[in-house]
Structure 1
Amino acid sequence: MTLVCVTGAAGRVGSTLVRRLSTGGYDVRAVVRPGNKKFPMPSEVETAEADLTDGRALRTAVEGAAVVIHLAAQMPLGDSTVEEYYDINVLGTLRVLEASVGAGRTVRRFIYASTDNTYGPADPNVMSLTEESEQFPGDYYGTSKVLCEHLVRNYRKIHGLQYTILRYGSVLAPNEAGSLFRMSWVRGFLETHSALGPRSNLWPLFKLAHGLATLLPAPDQADDPAVCLVGPDGAPWSIHLTDVRDTVEGTIRCIESPAAANECFNIVGPRATSFAEGAKVIAKHRDTTLLNAHMPVRLAFELSNAKAERLLGYRPRYDFESTLLAGSGDTRATDYVPVGAGWTAPTS
């Protein structure tokens, strides 16, 4: 069987991907950070510990693999210095690439997880971004991903390493969906990006209007209502969410498909989710009130799946409502790995 090596195997995408691969006819080696006991791997999955700063450990982790899926990365800058951050994300990717082309290499395809953040979500230059749209990221995370995309392409030119670049968009697991579009989440979203200042990927938008969180209505303390943010033109804000199951499906399609060779794809949900739709779904299924909050600016971010649909047959199945329903109640899904205490929009 084909051995697939997955870095970042304990993450939101990696945990579900590893399980799908292990039941889908692949041998899987899950690469996790040393000491990571976040969750137990399936018994049939081999585990390797390797930090992205440790080239030797990464060479051992990749040894014998036919496919490398590189998911591991640091998202928010947090307490790291910029130098430390880029050592993990950019030089870390370089080390995984070096491991993949080393002596006795067996890697035939390198799949790299990039992000929609490379386009610069605060001021997209077109309504539906394609893989040909300008990449102009607004933060350290997006910039690190653009640099890594260049590295991946260069390793094709220099070493002949076949690659696929996937630009994921705002991935969430079903059990996280119930926290979105509520007052607490919306307030946290606005306050976090405002506090980050120029380090926020949405700063081009937020610098035009300070104190957006103060424009939210004061809710009843016993309620956490659903909130729709509305721009000055009367249109709701929107973000392009992706159910982790769709993300994993798109990724697996790239392992064997000849059409995926040396290509880049947007892998996102079936359509952008407006705050009007999201808030209405939350109010309906969580039995809470629905409020509108008028903002002096508007966030509108949508990507096109057309290329992935045409070349890979990728057709995302889950809109926000179906993701929410899969995360709770009698319809609770078992085809993904639940994560954390709730989804938060990427901040860096």
Structure 2
Amino acid sequence: MGRMQRSFMPVNPKPKQYRGKTMVSIFITGGAGRIGSTLARKLVKDGFQVKCMVRPGDTRSITPGITRVEAALTDSRALARAIEGSDVVVHLAAQMPVGETPIDQYYDINVLGTLRVLEAAVNQSYPVKQFVYASTDNTYGPAMPEEDPITESHPQVPGDYYGTSKVLCEHLVRNYYKIHGLRYTILRYGSVIAPNEASSLFRLRWFRAFLKSHMDAGKKSNLYQLFGGSPDFIHALESQVQNLDDDDDDPPVRVTGADGRPWAIHLSDVRDSVSGTVNCLDNPNAWNETFNILGPATTTFAEGAEIISQSTGVETIELTMPRTLAFELSNEKARRLIGYEPVHDFYSTLSSCGEKAGRLDYVPVGAGWTAS
């Protein structure tokens, strides 16, 4: 006899429905992270039964009404216990920066961790009905994109360990559909920010830290092909700001490359990321498909700096870097198949950060919450 199949039973008299079917029990790894925390709160509000996995010993808060479970991606038995009874798995948890983690351990967490989650999903008494996997735009190697805008068919040749781990996991997810019939949806998120983080972007202090973190990371940076070796971006920056007083109000920076093209980054408001994720649930158009899930369009540093300047009253400064960082991803497939309509450009995201706590439609990063 095959494994038993269960029907979806309502949690409350009027549970949230998608396409006429009720999704009840949703399990989220990385449930205290940037996307996971806001997604969990949204799903609970909509009437779902939500279980969030956090790492053992994690003391971060979880939204009331959500079941909290502790499990490590390296612990197969704990994952099996945690996932038991779930209709849907949304796998968000991963280690992003390699940092000082040995590479074999890093891949044990990200790649074998995903394998363990998949194994747990297909070996339940009632198998999971949909597996949503969080991938990344890093799989495209955004330092030197081959398409503009980048579509889901862009070659996946990542330039770092993180992006490579995600490509390997995508293959695992697809294979579990072929082997076990586990329906999947792969979502390639990119540059996700919460509104309370927006005010620091496109400013000198943030830009200096951005450059330094990538240059210090060396070959572990996802932008190594842009920043690696020479020229020295930090020297190029400091030579242009050396006359600024240390007490200046962290001016917004309009950045261009030596070729005259503006720097640009494709940001995603976490609320749009959550919207795209929710649109995939119990949606036949999302089954066994891969989607880019990003904001409405790229934001150039000139645009971002001007928005920050208008918000703070601090004048912008012009910077020229030795090379240009600029890429945009296409949401067209997600719009066409799952009705994804991102609404928050950078201005909208920044404008939301001043809303009162009781009106927030996202979970702020920080103050007990950190990004996954």
Shift of 1:202: 0.8
**Partners of 1:213 and 1:289 in 2: CA distance:** 22
The alignment status of 1:339 with 2:365, answered yes or no, reads yes
Kept in 2, the 8 Å contact 1:51–1:57? The answer is yes
Match in the other structure for 2:99: 78
Tell me the TM-score normalised to structure 2 length.
0.89
Shift of 1:195: 1.6
Q: Aligned pair 1:31/2:53, yes or no?
A: yes
What's 1:287 paired with?
313
One of 245, 252, 258 as aligned partner of 1:220:
245
1:112 Cα offset (Å): 0.1
Judge conservation of contact 1:189–1:345 (CA < 8 Å) in 2: no
Q: What residue number does 1:172 align with? A: 193
Q: Which residue of 1 aligns with 2:4?
A: none
Q: 2:155 aligns with which of 134, 147, 157?
A: 134
Correspondent of 1:257 among 268, 271, 283: 283
Paired AA for residue 266 in structure 1:
N
Correspondence 1:8 to 2:33: no
Return the letter of the residue paired with 1:32. Answer: V
1:47 corresponds in structure 2 to 68
Which secondary structure does the structure 2 equivalent of 1:141 belong to?
helix
Q: Aligned-pair distance for 1:331?
A: 10
Match of 1:17 in 2: 39
TM-aligned CA distance change 1:14 to 1:290, over 3 Å: same
Aligned partner of 2:255 in structure 1 is 229
Supply the distance in 1 between the matched residues of 2:188 and 2:105 (Cα, whole angstroms).
23
- For 2:350 and 2:230, the matched residues in 1 are separated by 31
Query: C-alpha separation between the residues in 1 aligned to 2:359 and 2:298?
Result: 22
Q: Distance in 2 between matches of 1:209 and 1:145?
A: 28
Q: Over residues 207-265 of structure 1, what are the superposed CA-to-partner deviations in whole Å (9 max), with x where a residue is unaligned?
A: 36422122223233222000111012222101110000000000011112110000000
Alpha-carbon distance in 2 for matches of 1:9, 1:224? 33
In the alignment, structure 1 residue 125 sits paired with structure 2 residue 146: yes
Over residues 184-207 of structure 1, what are the superposed CA-to-partner deviations in whole Å (9 max), with x where a residue is unaligned? 100111111112222211111113
Cα distance between partner residues in 1 of 2:234 and 2:359: 34
Measured in 1, the distance between the counterparts of 2:74 and 2:154 equals 32
Displacement, 1:56?
0.4
What secondary structure does 1:77 align onto? Answer: coil
Aligned to 1:317: 343
The one-letter code of the counterpart of 1:198 is: K
Aligned-partner Cα distance in 2 for 1:213–1:332: 41
Unaligned runs of 5+ in 1: none
Please give the alpha-carbon distance, in whole angstroms, between the structure 2 residues aligned to 1:273 and 1:220. Answer: 28
Q: 1:103: Cα distance to partner?
A: 4.2
How far off its partner does 1:286 sit? 1.7
Pairwise CA distance, 1:332: 9.2
Partner of 2:296, secondary structure, is coil
**1:48 offset after TM fit, Å?**
1.1
Q: Measured at CA, do residues 274 and 345 of structure 1 come closer, stay the same or move farther in structure 2, by a change above 3 Å? A: farther
Q: 1:305 aligns with which of 312, 331, 337?
A: 331
Deviation of residue 127 (structure 1)?
1.1
Classify 1:252/1:172 alpha carbon distance in 2 versus 1 (closer, same or farther; 3 Å).
same
Contact 1:29 1:45 in 2 (8 A): yes
CA contact (8 A) 2:85 2:124 kept: no
Larger Rg: 2
**What amino acid is aligned across from residue 338 of structure 1 in structure 2?**
P
How many angstroms apart in 2 are the aligned matches of 1:134 and 1:211? 29
Paired residue secondary structure (2:292): strand
> Quick one: distance in 1 between partners of 2:370 and 2:234?
16
Give the TM-score normalised by structure 1. Answer: 0.95
| Aligned partner of 1:192 among 213, 226, 235 | 213
Q: Is the 8 A contact 2:193 2:267 kept in 1?
A: yes
Q: Kindly provide the CA deviation profile for residues 40-68 of structure 1, in whole angstroms up to 9, marking residues without a partner as x.
A: 331x2111111000000100111011100
Separation of aligned partners in 2, 1:26 and 1:96: 21
Aligned length: 344
Question: 2:300 maps to which residue?
Answer: 274
